[in-house]
């Protein structure tokens, strides 16, 4: 779909010259602006000034009164996006524009480590690029059938090696996602149950419960439809729920002991192998993903049970706690370990419980997905539901972040997955998305413990099945939407310090956003000098 905002030539200019973003307030109702009012905006500005800036005094070999140019060249705060569509967009010029964003707009990138597609067959992890990961392959497949590419099993799952190598050349912070997640549709390999639970154990479990367990097909693509509505997935989860109702954890473990051991061993093998290959190259990890709903079932972060009755299906005992233990063992000592979650009702309790039981982690990851285009349309009209008020109103953001911060034990907060869809892709609809994003980013940036915000799907129609098709900041043919210009305006202008200061006594003082700076001046002989400093 072609956008009416800019031409291809204008895109190239925008990516290099940072065209100014102009808000069209008229697309939002007076009711919306009454909620995001001047008083709210002033409070956000004050908190940004307080928490995101710092005073600096730097030694410079400049004569008194010399003008020193102060230019911020990097942020301490992490502005990120996932990079799941690396070389997959179907045309070289689209891939090039996509990759150019990393290092110019985004200083952090989330790299896919989903187990199901990383290790499609046991003992054969797909770390290195194969032909089906190359730009040539995806360009060919796109030319054959543009709609079919999103149903390839490895869509949005590029091999990690080339992605990480590329990000290293761009000096972009690398975040791995995820190590441990119970989700059967998107993460757990089918072969784990099919191949490593012996048939006699499967039959014993069925005989003890009367529940027929599904046979999972390793050839079944994961992206054939919205997996949340897939009858096979409902059958799989439903079967385990029936088993849970009839057997205790001890009884289940006694019936399938080979599988229980194999599952535990494979989880450790996975973390160990990834740690050995990438432990010194990746800066942070979502060690355990979306596990708070299991914690809320009441068993606690650490217990003496042999298995976990996960709502995903049977999982290893204390899997969230043990994932953190394994990650601390196998990752580099200074890697940041994250606990990532969307269930904000249960999450604070889980964080506190993990900490109480001695789990070691560094960052608390929180998500916010505004998936439904109808919700964005209602927001433009000033109609906030209880859910959207919690997610994208100033008071809801403040309350949620305060709750997470209180439970985090002083740890930083990473907004690890952000989705804000447009009501439609008309110019007005794109502006609605841009305004919601801009207000939310400003409110999140103002949170004291916040250390990063990661946008999820950068490009339209590149999300997982079930995710909105117009939640990108670029259209599918890599034309920038209003949300791109709004985000670029915040990151590269509003929140980037560029000023001058006078040298005095061999020093210069200034206040600016935290990050890396280049200072330039002329010495007493008129020769140009410069130095780089970190403002913290």
Where does the pLDDT of residue 185 fall: very low under 50, low under 70, confident under 90, or very high at 90 and above? confident
Where does the pLDDT of residue 19 fall: very low under 50, low under 70, confident under 90, or very high at 90 and above? low
Where does the pLDDT of residue 184 fall: very low under 50, low under 70, confident under 90, or very high at 90 and above? confident
Q: How far apart are CA 461 and CA 471, in angstroms?
A: 8
For the ranges 19-23, 27-31, 131-135, 212-216, the lowest mean pLDDT is seen at 212-216
Q: Are 448 and 405 in contact (CB under 8 A)?
A: yes
The pair phi, psi for residue 32, each rounded to 5°, is -65, -50
Q: How far apart are CA 118 and CA 120, in angstroms?
A: 6
Q: How far apart are CA 518 and CA 536, in angstroms?
A: 14
The pLDDT, as a whole number, for residue 213 is 79
Which pLDDT tens digit goes with each residue over 404-421? 998 888 999 999 999 999
Which segments within 12-130 are labelled E, that is strand? Answer: 53-59, 67-75, 78-82, 108-112
Which pLDDT tens digit goes with each residue over 342-384? 998 899 999 999 999 999 999 999 999 999 999 999 999 999 9
pLDDT of residue 431 exceeding 50, the answer is yes
Q: How far apart are CA 341 and CA 318, in angstroms?
A: 17
Alpha helix (H) residue ranges in 101-159: 115-118, 135-144
pLDDT of residue 232 exceeding 60, the answer is no
Q: How far apart are CA 163 and CA 88, in angstroms?
A: 12
The pLDDT, as a whole number, for residue 94 is 98
Longest dimension (CA), the chain: 90
- Sheet containing strand 515-522, edge to edge, reads 498-502, 67-75, 515-522, 528-535
Q: Are 320 and 379 in contact (CB under 8 A)?
A: no
CA distances from 112 to 156, 178, 224, 290, 496 (A): 8, 7, 19, 16, 29
Tokens encoding 125:
């992890």
Helices (H) and strands (E) in the chain, counts: 20, 16
Q: Are 99 and 488 in contact (CB under 8 A)?
A: no
Tokens encoding 442:
């400003």
pLDDT of residue 1 exceeding 80, the answer is no
Where does the pLDDT of residue 235 fall: very low under 50, low under 70, confident under 90, or very high at 90 and above? low
Residues 293-320 have a mean pLDDT of 94
């Amino acid at each position: 779909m072609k956008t009416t905002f800019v031409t291809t030539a204008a895109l190239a200019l925008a990516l290099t010259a940072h065209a100014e973003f102009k808000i069209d307030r008229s697309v939002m109702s007076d009711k919306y602006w009454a909620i995001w009012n001047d008083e709210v905006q002033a409070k956000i500005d004050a908190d940004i000034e307080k928490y995101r800036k710092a005073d600096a005094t730097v030694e410079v070999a400049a004569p008194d009164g010399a003008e020193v140019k102060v230019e911020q060249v990097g942020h301490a705060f992490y502005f990120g996006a996932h990079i799941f569509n690396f070389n997959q967009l179907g045309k070289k010029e689209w891939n090039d524009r996509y990759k150019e964003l990393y290092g110019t707009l985004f200083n952090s990138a989330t790299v896919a480590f989903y187990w199901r597609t990383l290790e499609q067959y046991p003992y054969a992890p797909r770390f290195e690029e194969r032909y089906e990961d190359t730009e040539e392959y995806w360009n060919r497949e796109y030319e054959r059938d543009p709609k079919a590419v999103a149903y390839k099993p490895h869509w949005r799952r590029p091999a990690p090696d080339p992605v990480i190598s590329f990000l290293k050349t761009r000096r972009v912070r690398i975040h791995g996602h995820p190590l441990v997640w119970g989700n059967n549709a998107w993460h757990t390999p089918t072969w784990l149950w099919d191949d490593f639970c012996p048939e006699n154990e499967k039959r014993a479990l069925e005989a003890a419960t009367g529940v027929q367990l599904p046979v999972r097909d390793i050839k079944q693509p994961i992206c054939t439809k919205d997996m949340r509505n897939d009858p096979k997935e409902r059958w799989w989860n439903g079967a385990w729920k029936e088993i849970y109702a009839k057997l205790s954890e001890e009884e289940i473990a006694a019936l399938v002991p080979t599988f229980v051991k194999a599952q535990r061993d494979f989880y450790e093998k996975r973390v160990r192998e990834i740690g050995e290959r990438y432990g010194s190259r990746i800066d942070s990890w979502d060690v355990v993903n979306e596990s708070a709903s299991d914690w809320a079932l009441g068993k606690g972060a650490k217990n003496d049970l042999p298995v976990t009755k996960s709502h995903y299906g049977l999982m290893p005992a204390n899997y969230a706690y043990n994932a953190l233990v394994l990650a601390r063992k196998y990752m580099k000592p200074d890697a940041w370990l994250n606990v990532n979650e969307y269930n904000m009702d249960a999450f604070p309790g889980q964080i506190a419980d993990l900490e109480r039981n001695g789990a070691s982690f560094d960052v608390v990851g929180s998500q916010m997905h505004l998936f439904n285009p109808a919700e964005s349309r209602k927001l433009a009209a000033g109609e906030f539901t209880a859910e959207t008020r919690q997610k994208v109103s100033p008071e809801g953001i403040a309350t949620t972040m305060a709750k997470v911060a209180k439970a985090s034990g002083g740890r930083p907060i990473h907004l690890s997955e952000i989705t804000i869809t447009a009501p439609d892709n008309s110019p007005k609809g794109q502006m609605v998305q841009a305004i919601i994003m801009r207000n939310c980013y400003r409110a999140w940036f103002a949170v004291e413990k916040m250390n990063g915000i990661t946008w999820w799907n950068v490009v339209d129609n590149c999300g997982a099945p079930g995710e909105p098709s117009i939640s990108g900041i670029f259209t599918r043919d890599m034309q920038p939407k209003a949300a791109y210009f709004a985000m670029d305006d915040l990151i590269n202008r509003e929140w980037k310090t560029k000023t001058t200061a006078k040298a005095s006594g061999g020093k210069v003082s200034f206040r600016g956003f935290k990050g890396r700076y280049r200072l330039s001046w002329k010495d007493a002989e008129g020769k140009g000098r410069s130095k780089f400093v970190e403002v913290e």
